[in-house]
């Protein structure tokens, strides 16, 4: 079974990828970048392009296979253009985003918006794989999808379409677009979709995604998380999915697993799932310090660096028992000094769980 760090816009950028890889990355097989837009202008946004430059993948023995850039687009030509550019940078695999639920994306028929019109999606995939074959392009193409737009029954047709193409992997977030990232994952529908995919001749490995990593938030903690992470729009609503509780078909070796928020909550989650040591307070403290330094190089102002760290604290705080007062201080910090002092306080005053 392989483990992947999920793409998360604004979060799984290269500072996090490198630091996580160095400290906890031993059992993490691939890191997916947040999506890079394949625009009609045939230009990448500067910020997005910077994130995939190989020179920033210093922690990876072979970024070509360990880092997978994700493409967001809705035209075969632009997606193929973007994939070629990524391949020129060395990447051996690109991933196509067929799952982003954000309204501005969906309304432009991108991300999960592509699931709305299966015929068009089919045509787009046909053109992409046709171009790859005709031009003999040497890279793999994987897909990251949901089970549908507004009804999980849509998965049947989608899986039949995916089965037609030589994709390298099918990553399925076990929700529909209208779920965003909330509510219980649709495990039955996921299993059914996998059966459909295989029955239709689909041969690519399947990767399960959704809610892996058990967390137990108190309602107070959840409130804190919601205040700071509203913009993350996908929040654990207190119920993470414990791998041990998952149906055997998912928790066994037949699927690879992609984890997003679970790894933000517990950066050592993959190590733990592979039978390794539990996260310690000391390593978490070092991890947070290193992230701060990483973001400092990446973002100019203290306040913005702190804002980035708060995105992590929205998940990390579950490790500290009865810590409201200390979390508040972290949230209120406005300078590096204040932030560091507040973080020192929480580590020295609260029980680590």
**Closest distance to ligand FMN from the beta carbon of 182 (Å):** 10
Q: Which is nearer to ligand FMN, 72 or 346 (CB)?
A: 72
**Given CA atoms 30, 35, 38, 44 in this order, what sign does their dihedral have?**
negative
- Binder to ligand FMN among 260, 291, 323, 326 (CB under 6 A)? 260
Q: Is 82 helix (H, G, I), strand (E, B) or coil?
A: helix
Q: Which helix (H) or strand (E) holds 122?
A: helix 118-134
**Cα 11 to Cα 232: distance, rounded to the nearest angstrom:** 10
Q: Which is nearer to ligand FMN, 309 or 350 (CB)?
A: 309
Question: Of the listed pieces 255-263, 279-287, 333-341, 342-350, which binds ligand FMN according to CB under 6 A?
Answer: 255-263
Residue 88 CB neighbours (<10 A): 9
Q: Is 176 helix (H, G, I), strand (E, B) or coil?
A: coil
**Which residue, 129, 261, 147, is CA-closest to 194?**
147
Q: Does 35 bind ligand FMN (CB under 6 A)?
A: yes
Q: Does 232 bind ligand FMN (CB under 6 A)?
A: yes
- Binder to ligand FMN among 259, 284, 291, 309 (CB under 6 A)? 259
Alpha carbon 13 to its chain's center: 10
> How many residues can be counted in the chain?
353
Q: Does 48 bind ligand FMN (CB under 6 A)?
A: no
Site string for ligand FMN, 68-97 (x = CB under 6 A): --x--------------------------x
The two beta strands, 30-37 and 3-5, are: parallel
Q: Which of residues 191-220 bind ligand FMN (CB under 6 A)?
A: 209-212
Q: Does 186 bind ligand FMN (CB under 6 A)?
A: no
DSSP state at residue 278? P
Site string for ligand FMN, 95-114 (x = CB under 6 A): --x-xx--------------
**Cα 160 to Cα 154: distance, rounded to the nearest angstrom:** 10
Q: Which is nearer to ligand FMN, 163 or 241 (CB)?
A: 241
Q: Which is nearer to ligand FMN, 90 or 234 (CB)?
A: 234
Burial degree of 157 (CB within 10 A; 0-12, 13-18, 19+): middle
CA 168, 46, 79: angle at the middle one, nearest 5? 30
Q: Does 9 bind ligand FMN (CB under 6 A)?
A: yes
**Closest distance to ligand FMN from the beta carbon of 240 (Å):** 8
Q: Does 173 bind ligand FMN (CB under 6 A)?
A: yes
Q: Does 148 bind ligand FMN (CB under 6 A)?
A: no
Question: Of the listed pieces 7-15, 41-49, 190-198, 294-302, which binds ligand FMN according to CB under 6 A?
Answer: 7-15
Say if CB 241 and CB 212 are below 8 A apart.
Answer: yes
Residues within the interface to ligand FMN (CB under 6 A): 6-9, 11, 34-35, 70, 97, 99-100, 144, 173, 181, 209-212, 232, 234, 259-262
């Amino acid at each position: 079974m392989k483990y992947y760090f999920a793409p998360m816009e604004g979060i799984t950028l290269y500072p996090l990828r490198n630091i996580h890889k160095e400290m906890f990355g031993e059992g993490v097989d691939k890191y997916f970048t947040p999506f890079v837009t394949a625009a009609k202008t045939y230009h990448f946004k500067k910020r997005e392009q910077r994130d995939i430059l190989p020179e920033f993948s210093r922690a990876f023995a072979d970024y070509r296979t360990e880092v997978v850039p994700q493409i967001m687009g809705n035209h075969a030509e632009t997606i193929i253009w973007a994939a070629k550019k990524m391949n020129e940078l060395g990447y051996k695999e690109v991933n196509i985003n067929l799952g982003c639920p954000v309204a501005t994306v969906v309304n432009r028929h991108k991300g999960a918006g592509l699931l709305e019109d299966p015929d068009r999606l089919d045509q787009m995939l046909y053109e992409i794989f046709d171009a790859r074959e005709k031009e003999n392009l040497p890279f793999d193409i994987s897909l990251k999808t949901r089970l549908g737009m507004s009804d999980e029954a849509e998965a049947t047709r989608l899986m039949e379409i995916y089965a037609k193409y030589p994709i390298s992997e099918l990553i399925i977030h076990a929700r529909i677009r209208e779920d965003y990232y909330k509510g219980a994952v649709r495990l039955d529908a996921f299993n059914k979709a996998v059966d459909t995919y295989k029955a239709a001749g689909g041969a690519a490995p399947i990767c399960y995604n959704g809610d892996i990593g058990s967390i137990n938030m108190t309602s107070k903690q959840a409130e804190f998380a919601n205040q700071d992470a509203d913009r993350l729009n996908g929040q654990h609503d207190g119920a993470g999915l414990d791998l041990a509780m998952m149906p055997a078909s998912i928790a066994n070796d037949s699927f690879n697993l992609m984890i997003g928020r679970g790894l933000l909550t517990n950066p050592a989650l993959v190590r733990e799932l592979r039978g390794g040591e539990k996260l310690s307070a000391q390593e978490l403290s070092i991890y947070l310090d290193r992230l701060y330094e990483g973001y400092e190089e990446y973002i100019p102002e203290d306040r913005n660096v702190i804002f980035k760290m708060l995105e992590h604290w929205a998940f990390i705080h579950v490790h500290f028992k009865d810590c409201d007062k200390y979390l508040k201080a972290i949230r209120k910090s406005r300078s590096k000094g204040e932030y560091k002092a507040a973080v020192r306080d929480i580590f020295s005053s609260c029980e680590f769980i």
